[in-house]
Structure 1
């Protein structure tokens, strides 16, 4: 863009308000549908409503009103949208906005470390996200991380499953807008908040959280003014336990193809070659998350036809993480080159080539690690906007600056046992491997050795300026009452730098207890009634590792200097001597990239409306045109004339997307309506995927002088990636039979192209020769078709106390495939899209009567595939799959005094473990991970006055 646009926006007074996550208190009807709320709509245009009565009181008092508000958003939207609003979020038994959104039909989430993370809409993760209708991002990402927004601070979340031209261009899956509250949403003054304490049954920790919202409106000589400030803090402590089997599956015979003496020894009579995972182990992660946030808004209405607003946001994350892992290897040789021995081998009945259990002696010693990580994010956004109506024209604008930075520091102490114990392993105990170390004394510090020391520093940053102007013109044409036009420009910068160093000291036989970190202690696990026989081992204290990081660095420096004498031909040790000579980690030019990207967008659309034989038809039709101009910079390592050079690399992209859209609503009556839509969407590749850096290394001849299979090998990003595109067809049938009662059916089809995958290809390069290159590439075509069904109602017609019951239910069916990329000359193959569950549903029961409100929610999704990988023969693809996932959550509130409620939640009541498995050929698999997650229980007080 340039500097001209950046300077223009800066001079337009982007007010750097210190602010944060989103508004606390709740609104009944979102600004898009509420005449009393004069703030601009979440999207660039406001849909026409068909409510019976304009809502003058926007205070939500219960589930009925909240469900009714969400229903009206869906009913009146120009787009195909589902939403949750107001207390519909505040009263969900959820910890953050990502958890809350998982209740919406067609939306699923993936969870890790006790919270929802990645959002998938109709099976696709490529979701654009906005905050109050404008772009919002974290560091070098393109998206808003909903898990960083506490569920109670949002006034609403809208999921646009088909976009209109006035929306910021949606991703393949659609667009998610998180909307905060504004001061003109209330009549006068409001003070609201909540104080809550939570307990996690795995971490055994109590955590506080709270929020406070202050908002007030004034009538002044210069017009009406409103101000809002919202403060929030959430702390959560989690503890997960995972036992696993490796994804790599091996056989005892085959390592020594030329020399059978290299094979693993098997002593069980009558047992031939068989398959088993190469590793098994335990992985524990414990962390404390701190999420403070502040946001503020000022609205000024100097006259009835003009409104000006300024708002700001500060959203932060602070994490303190501890990771422990213990790994047993079943294939590697010991320090003297002696292969392990397998005895007591039992094979799976009916699968004679698959191991059920065995005993391993000798071979490589088990390894274990302790990782201490501290990370933090700070994201700021300041915005200034207006809405001005003059005659038949309404002009609105929004200008914003966003700045975000993420930094993580990580220290790892690697260890190993002094000798190899006897390992007894069972490969399928409730879904994954369990093992023990026989009679080995794991509590004896003399049995632990220091293996290595690793330090990492990772910093990503991003900032951007954006601005839009929208014009809505009323016309005299009965069939086309509105014409809408708009322009938008944005200027984004992103960068990432990853520096690390590793000192391998295993050959020096240094006792782990001799490190300057004090006495070793037994780690704590997070298993709950699990069959894993081996669960705990010795490790240095986390705080001691961090406090003594410089002493450990100096010790590592001395150790690798000694190691160069014992291992003079080890290039990695020589490299570690250089990197550990200074207190600061040297900058690795290959570990970073920078990107700058400017986009210009123009849209035009008409809002049509006409009567067809007594049936009302309305909708929108138009197109959005987007020009993307990007520059992506990094460094590449390439061989030249027998030496290696690191050279800067810069690439550019400039392309135009034309995204047409046409959506019609056919209203047969005030209760029944049908929508039909056709749209086109696209998703840009991430900045990391566009990183132009390449790391190419010339391959050496074999030990016998034979030429390598490939002359060179390389990896990196791909600045030539094109956006993922989709042609979308939608149809819905909607029935609104009461203010909070509705039912709908939606059918959809997506014609997809350009999925991005990392894979290996072989090129005949004029410089490097036969080059094996691993990097992201656009894969082939795909498609998704599906059906959504949803319904909600309260049983008000029942007598007495029974009238307090209500229900909400929805279900989704998806069938989606995409073409795997062509590799090594093999043609692509249609497989199920990763992350897509064929079936998913939510069931929620309510009871709300008088001072009591309760909700019980059950969420279920069928199994899904997470990745596809080549089998050992590199001909067929096999996949890693996740078993069905379910959750049960409960919340309740009691209002003993008007405006003050006692609230209680229990999340993840079933505590069903996460379990996945991996195929090692087309028909056979081993269990992979069995992860045990925590239950959350909380009690608090909510107030409003």
Structure 2
């Protein structure tokens, strides 16, 4: 409805026509503006209409408007004199979104018309290799002339959300491939799907193609180049090119990573000098449960390398990742269906271990397909081997010999191991595109790791030296042991991604279980006392003993009255929910800001129980004699011909005898309770985390910063075990303790692109390391006879660290990398074994052995890497390649000791570690000779430097090769430890060797296929 017109033209127009004519001429000469009208207005608590009426009367102008366009937002109170009309109208019409326009003698009041808001669109799609249709993960896709861009995920898919409608040019790129360009028109609210097909840039060199390891390298290098933080990536194709069967073995090839060995195979992963307790193992971004007895660590021998798609070693954290990774994160990416055509792949290898002279078997099969909206993948891997190890173990004590005190061997043990290992890996991965805006997944992964060990040993306990090379009061032990281990990991994930208006939302529900179970442990030790012998120490690491009497060689003289068995199990379970949301804002040409926020909640239980039993024959029962329970196990060429090691008890027969004749044994409650109760516990933990982070992109700069908050609460129940003054067991009492710790963990990651293939990176981050489970348990073992208490410490706090990183990296167009960087870590509240004397109270003067938070530790180092295919060389040489890396690491940790305060290096930190591989690829052949090396390092800390244990440096040489038989079938050969490199450690200085290990060499050969 029209409003009233407050000024109406008069009907008597005759005389006015000439006047109007001249007024029009005047208006044409100089158009008047609202500001030219000066008015006075006084109104108290009036209406808008009243104010407009007074203004009409004061100016002679007519105000025209629709009543619904003028709202009474508040009473009008105004008092002005000789003020400009436009200013007065602004005050009168305050709260009304309208404009005043003067036309002749009329003022039109019109609402401001907002420009129509166009609904943004979405661009999504895939990037493929044009030659074969395979997906290209971690490719870059960007909109030309803007900061909008994305990186394809592991399935080669990208998503650009919240894009304004319009015409755009999109560019897709991948290392080793040419750029692809597409011009598109994005309509309002449209979901536009694209497919880019890229062509290889490989030069037309005879026999050189981008296949096998080079395709894997391209995938890994693209992931590293486009990452917002510092990380190293190993693709599955790269892992296949080394003779490595497990994830632990594969990780020894990474810059800044060292490994500790278990029976010749890499197990413990040390990142930048920090042991596994200060690193995190994740599966698809979720923490993997523990498979060890006391710590939070996972034995990665239980994960076969051919069961994974890739491995990320994340060295700088961002706020959207868990903060408990001071050394770094090992993130295992599982396999998934990626291609529209069905893919059946696998391998079948058979091998040989030279030390045990036994075969090994390596089998795998995988089938997957991405069919329209549904993707599915089934994968199974099996590995079985019989490994061995020869070990010489020496311990020392101070003896007085001929009036002089000197350090001499106190115990010498020769031990031969046979280890049967079986690995089974099963994967089921389902993905479903529920709608254009939502994709869902369901994953379940099972890793079964079973190990059975048989070991036989002969030990010599030396009582006295009556000469420099003659010993007396010696006890000889002949021991046999059967034991097994189950280390299993089961994970179940359900989650997805949804585009919710302008937000990209991802969510995940995760159930995990880690298992350590040792149901079988049978041990028998037969001994012969009061022996004497001449000791030959001409080779300190291989002492030779010559008995004075032949009785030492008569196995019927060795007896025992004891038999030991036990069972130990740890269950580590958790349930976790994760939610993240991201929105990107365009801030102008070549500028964007992505805000990401989210949280995570995890509930965990960790339960451990031990049952240790020492079964002792009743007094009227005759002794067991070794000659009646002999095992046929032997090692003829022990330690490369040092001796023929044999004469061990068969513990399976001992176990059978015990089960059939249990009434002939008595139990030792002190042994059982002392070895069972302090080590048994149950606990619960809650982790709540939330974060916010921003990713700012501007031309050559990428800046990621934000903060994460984490709170961990725990409730543990342990046992207090009391022993009397004679060493006998008295009682066990339950102890419960609750506590919590929390903190903020900010981070900043900066990347500056010197060129399309050259980056400078810098980062400052804060991280944490949580105490081991067992360290937090409120357990106590009170030994009155020894005036000693061993105990846990539930009042521990988490270690925290401030980390600084700088890295230069250049990526070769021919697929390669040259990088160099430095890092520095300032670690506070470092955990260490602590011993002190109790002052006052019931246990005044007792020695207390526990774990404590100590002084600051500092770690710094240098990492360099070079990997490149030398395709620029002439002729047959253009198939050569190099894969090399080196790390120098230094650390300093100040710890209080029993004698004095000491500055030491972090235990397990290798000061020098690296890899050198020479490769050759041409005409379907791929081969490499690889060397992994590390220098001597501090393995464990004694009370004084003379009691520190050091491990010797070592270099291992490996060879691997494959030959393409057909486009889909190839022959494979793997050989490990070709030089049969030994391992060893020593006490204080090299003149006191502790252990010498020989693992031999091993290998396998067979075929692999991809159909």
Aligned in 2, Cα 1:529/1:644: closer, same or farther, shift over 3 Å?
closer
Q: 924, 930, 951: which one pairs with 1:857?
A: 930
Question: Is 1:663 paired with 2:754?
Answer: no
1:431 Cα deviation after fit: 3.5
Structure having greater relative contact order (Cα 8 Å, sep ≥ 6) = 1
Distance 2:918 2:661 in 1: 56
1:523 Cα deviation after fit: 2.8
Contact 1:369 1:412 in 2 (8 A): no
In structure 2, the partner of 1:444 is 554
Question: Is 1:149 paired with 2:303?
Answer: yes
Instruction: Using the TM superposition, name which of 790-799 and 471-480 deviates more.
Output: 471-480
Aligned in 2, Cα 1:291/1:60: closer, same or farther, shift over 3 Å?
farther
Q: 277, 283, 301: which one pairs with 1:131?
A: 283
1:842 Cα deviation after fit: 0.6
Q: Deviations over 1:268-316 (max 9, x none)?
A: xxx7333212111212221101111211010001333211000001111
1:231 Cα deviation after fit: 0.6
Contact 1:165 1:622 in 2 (8 A): yes
1:509 Cα deviation after fit: 10
1:174 Cα deviation after fit: 1.0
Contact 2:138 2:226 in 1 (8 A): no
Q: 366, 372, 377: which one pairs with 2:482?
A: 372
In structure 1, the partner of 2:953 is 884
Alignment of 1:509-548 (within 5 A): 510=622, 512-513=624-625, 518-521=629-632, 523-524=634-635, 527-530=638-641, 532-533=642-643, 535-548=644-657
Aligned in 2, Cα 1:882/1:190: closer, same or farther, shift over 3 Å?
same
Alignment of 1:538-577 (within 5 A): 538-551=647-660, 553-557=662-666, 575=670
Gaps of 5+ in 2: 1-133, 140-149, 160-171, 181-195, 201-208
Distance 1:775 1:785 in 2: 28
Aligned in 2, Cα 1:809/1:507: closer, same or farther, shift over 3 Å?
farther
Q: 683, 706, 712: which one pairs with 1:595?
A: 683
Aligned in 2, Cα 1:84/1:645: closer, same or farther, shift over 3 Å?
same
- Please give the TM-score of this superposition, normalised by the length of structure 2: 0.77
Q: Deviations over 1:61-91 (max 9, x none)?
A: 3122222222112211111101111210122
Question: Is 1:816 paired with 2:875?
Answer: no
Contact 2:462 2:475 in 1 (8 A): no
1:727 Cα deviation after fit: 0.6
Distance 1:365 1:320 in 2: 29
Q: Deviations over 1:694-718 (max 9, x none)?
A: 1123347xxxxxxxxxxx4211211
Q: Deviations over 1:723-774 (max 9, x none)?
A: 1111101001111232412201111111112222223111224233333211
Distance 1:586 1:713 in 2: 14
In structure 1, the partner of 2:696 is 608
Contact 1:96 1:147 in 2 (8 A): yes
Q: 761, 777, 784: which one pairs with 2:852?
A: 777
In structure 2, the partner of 1:496 is 608
Aligned in 2, Cα 1:155/1:53: closer, same or farther, shift over 3 Å?
farther
SS at 2:239 equivalent: helix
Aligned in 2, Cα 1:489/1:839: closer, same or farther, shift over 3 Å?
same
Contact 1:914 1:931 in 2 (8 A): yes
SS at 2:773 equivalent: coil
Q: Deviations over 1:789-840 (max 9, x none)?
A: 111111112233221111111111111111123546x4x3211111112111
- Work out which of the two has the higher radius of gyration on C-alpha atoms and give 1 or 2: 2
Q: CA RMSD in A?
A: 2.9
Q: 466, 477, 481: which one pairs with 1:342?
A: 466
- Please give the TM-score of this superposition, normalised by the length of structure 1: 0.82
In structure 2, the partner of 1:766 is 841
1:666 Cα deviation after fit: 0.9
In structure 2, the partner of 1:650 is 736
Distance 1:36 1:499 in 2: 46
In structure 2, the partner of 1:727 is 802
1:878 Cα deviation after fit: 3.4
Contact 2:452 2:485 in 1 (8 A): yes
Question: Is 1:830 paired with 2:979?
Answer: no
SS at 1:66 equivalent: helix
1:860 Cα deviation after fit: 0.7
Aligned in 2, Cα 1:413/1:644: closer, same or farther, shift over 3 Å?
closer
Q: Deviations over 1:26-55 (max 9, x none)?
A: 9863699435826799xxxxxx98766477
In structure 2, the partner of 1:182 is 336
Question: Is 1:119 paired with 2:269?
Answer: yes
Distance 2:1006 2:810 in 1: 37
In structure 2, the partner of 1:67 is 217
Question: Is 1:463 paired with 2:463?
Answer: no
Contact 1:432 1:927 in 2 (8 A): no
Aligned in 2, Cα 1:769/1:529: closer, same or farther, shift over 3 Å?
closer
In structure 1, the partner of 2:710 is 626
Contact 1:398 1:469 in 2 (8 A): yes
In structure 1, the partner of 2:146 is none
Alignment of 1:420-435 (within 5 A): 420-427=530-537, 429=539, 431-435=541-545
Q: 250, 253, 274: which one pairs with 1:100?
A: 250
Contact 1:365 1:421 in 2 (8 A): yes
Question: Is 1:312 paired with 2:423?
Answer: no
Contact 1:419 1:447 in 2 (8 A): no
SS at 1:252 equivalent: strand
Contact 1:759 1:774 in 2 (8 A): yes
In structure 2, the partner of 1:252 is 400
Alignment of 1:228-267 (within 5 A): 228-246=377-395, 248-252=396-400
Aligned in 2, Cα 1:638/1:510: closer, same or farther, shift over 3 Å?
closer
Q: Deviations over 1:184-214 (max 9, x none)?
A: x223210001111121100111021211101
Distance 1:649 1:575 in 2: 20
SS at 1:414 equivalent: strand
In structure 2, the partner of 1:29 is 137
In structure 2, the partner of 1:206 is 359
Aligned pair count reads 822
Distance 1:428 1:28 in 2: 61
Instruction: Using the TM superposition, name which of 295-304 and 544-553 deviates more.
Output: 544-553
Aligned in 2, Cα 1:113/1:750: closer, same or farther, shift over 3 Å?
same
SS at 1:909 equivalent: coil
Aligned in 2, Cα 1:586/1:173: closer, same or farther, shift over 3 Å?
closer
In structure 2, the partner of 1:21 is none
SS at 1:67 equivalent: helix
Question: Is 1:840 paired with 2:913?
Answer: yes
SS at 1:819 equivalent: strand
In structure 1, the partner of 2:86 is none
SS at 2:250 equivalent: helix
Distance 2:428 2:460 in 1: 53
Aligned in 2, Cα 1:56/1:694: closer, same or farther, shift over 3 Å?
farther
In structure 2, the partner of 1:870 is 943
Distance 1:621 1:113 in 2: 43
Aligned in 2, Cα 1:191/1:439: closer, same or farther, shift over 3 Å?
farther
1:551 Cα deviation after fit: 3.5
Aligned in 2, Cα 1:514/1:743: closer, same or farther, shift over 3 Å?
closer
Instruction: Using the TM superposition, name which of 54-63 and 417-426 deviates more.
Output: 54-63
1:413 Cα deviation after fit: 4.0
Distance 2:626 2:818 in 1: 68
1:520 Cα deviation after fit: 4.8
In structure 1, the partner of 2:53 is none
Contact 1:636 1:693 in 2 (8 A): yes
Aligned in 2, Cα 1:243/1:434: closer, same or farther, shift over 3 Å?
farther
1:226 Cα deviation after fit: 0.6
